[in-house]
Chains A and B, each alone.
Chain A
Amino acid sequence: MAEHKSISKEESYSFDRSAIDYIRNAAAHGLYEIRGMGAKRKLPSFDDLVFLGASNSRYPLEGYREKCSTKTILGTRFAKKPIELEIPITIAGMSFGSLSANVKEALGRAATEVGTSTTTGDGGMTQEERQSSKTLVYQCLPSRYGFNPDDLRKADAIEVVIGQGAKPGGGGMLLGQKVSPRVAGMRTLPEGIDQRSACRHPDWTGPDDLAIKITELREITDWEKPIYVKVGATRTFNDVKLAVHSGADVVVVDGMQGGTAATQTCFIEHIGIPTLAAVKQAVAALEDLDMKGKVQLIVSGGIRTGADVAKALAMGADAVSIGQGVLIALGCNGETYYQNGEHHDASADYAALGTCAGFCHHCHTGKCPVGITTQDEILEQRLTPEVGAKHLKNYLKTLNMELTTIARACGKQNVHHLEREDLVALTIEAAAMAGLPLAGTNWIPGM
């Protein structure tokens, strides 16, 4: 029997408490909300897919004994020195500025220990992350903050960023409280200003130009380094094809669940498409060009678990990239932080931001209660590189173990052998977006 609702307390679907709260805030401040993290709305996702494990028609591998390779090679198309990783799980580009130097170092340490790559972000490369990261991807962003040929040559790969899932079509924002003297110096900007990043590159305007730009980057680095092109997921089929035509070795597709340090909420929640839909379109584009396996595909945006990784690979990705999950492994949204050998309650600091652990998205304020998304000298001490690296290493190892567990259950000796045929969808929406049959049927909506 349906739950009884008093007509005097019936909540409107159109004007529910969230909508009322939004309107009241807009009326009070005359300014849209800027926040961190990615889309919070419920979206069709990898959770809506399940694997068809081995049974009578497939032969499984022994889960705890038989080997299952996770080796991943990226950038085999043109680069003299492709990237060789131990696992297909990489760390997404996040800037020093949005993150503290301690965090950047922690990312590098953990990635190096598990054999994967880290990525710089807007604002350039820090010494800490280069020293701690065995494999470092250097982003070439529209702002070109801190971008220079010396760091370009120090990098192991180059990622030309056209957009990101949280804000495809938009530039970055680093509010003044995070533009510390060091951040300002690296970006050639006055300290403490609200820093805007351009949404378009300064020296090229379309895919034909991009092809020439990529050639220039190859020339400067003597054709040694793989060049990635990263796009926020929108018109993914066309964007991936154009990236390939422009000469990318690797295409990175970031879905709308992908995070940000500071962007308008209306942007985060209403521009872009879910990662699940983007993967299908990206793979279709590579197949259409007969470039599957020649140009590698990295998928990001809302990847949390080893099952998510396995599903992305089964749909056709060569690797995944994780940002938000990585920060949560470091302690983001934790109730406590660990400092000087003991845990400390962070609830008062969350309360000062008007939130609490588990709900915080106040990366833009620079007042991160657990010392991750901050440039504050006191707060950043709440996350040391050693402790952060230990937790992140554990997280990445866990994901990799889950990934191989699933791959073995599907009878694969190599995680890259997972395939679409191993998957079915639990909802009609997911089946349509992913182009997979609804579980228990042969029906793929729209096919």
Chain B
Amino acid sequence: MGSVTFDLEQTPVREINHFIHKDADIGDKIAITNAGGAHSIACGCDKELEIIIDGHAGYYAGGMNKDAEITISGSAGTGVGENMMSGKIHVKGFASNGAGASAHGGLLVINGDAGLRCGISLKGGDIVVGGSVGSFSGFMAQAGRMVICGNAADALGDSLYEAIIYLRGEVKSLGADAQFEPMTDDDYAVVAELLSQAGEDFKKFDPKEFKRIASSKSLYHWNSDANQEY
């Protein structure tokens, strides 16, 4: 195990990602300074690494992550943690659109707000958002859990499959086929566990304040009598 620091003002993203993919050893700690909104930082990680990105990241930070634990001290652009398979990504600031899109596994934590379509097409990953989420979050989410500590904009959970959304604040509107359901003891335990995994900043939230949103499953099969009014 070793430590290495890259300065993005001196070293291009390509060189850093090459190091992460080819040269880094399991357990290495990698610091990336002066991120400056660069795209594709630390995407395609496929081993247990600890990566700290100092500053704001552009699009697709930590994209398709496997096993690595990535911390972004600032905010993240579109598609942070997209298609993540495992590991953890923690955004200390805000996240733009499509955060955690299609994530199959792992945990994405966002301290601030997340933009449009957070958790879209989610396939088994977990997402915890400290702030609010934009419209169409959880769209067609298939599996996994989303914990939203703030509010949600329009069409939350539109066309949900089996993913479950836990919302603490208010929702402007639910999407097609999404519905509120009673919280069970298992749900409270899930929320408590995910808040705990999200870290110190999330201990202030009480699982009892969250509501459960899941699919009513009315779109699972075609229904010609629905008149396309879901």
Contacts and interface: CB of A to CB of B under 8 A. Distances in A.
B18 interface: yes
B14 interface: yes
A212 interface: yes
A203 B79 contact: yes
Contacts of B39: 212, 215-216
A187 B123 CA distance: 9
Nearest to B99: A203
A189 B46 CA distance: 25
Contacts of B44: 149, 219-221
A198 B120 CA distance: 10
B159 interface: yes
A147 B84 CA distance: 10
A125 B194 CA distance: 32
Given A30-B224, A209-B59, A189 B161 contact: yes
Nearest to B222: A194
A188 B123 contact: yes
Interface string B79-122: 10011010000000000011001101000000000000100110
B124 A220 contact: no
Interface string A360-374: 000000000000000
Contacts of B159: 196
Interface in A196-220: 196, 198, 202-205, 209, 212-213, 215-216, 219-220
Contacts of A212: 39-40, 58-60, 78
A144 B101 CA distance: 10
Interface string B51-86: 000000011100110100000000000110011010
A29 B224 contact: yes
Contact of A219 (B14, B117, B123): B14
B3 to A, nearest CB: 23
A193 B59 contact: no
A222 interface: yes
A398 interface: no
A219 B221 contact: no
Interface of A: 29-31, 143-144, 147-149, 152, 175-176, 187-190, 193-194, 196, 198, 202-205, 209, 212-213, 215-216, 219-223
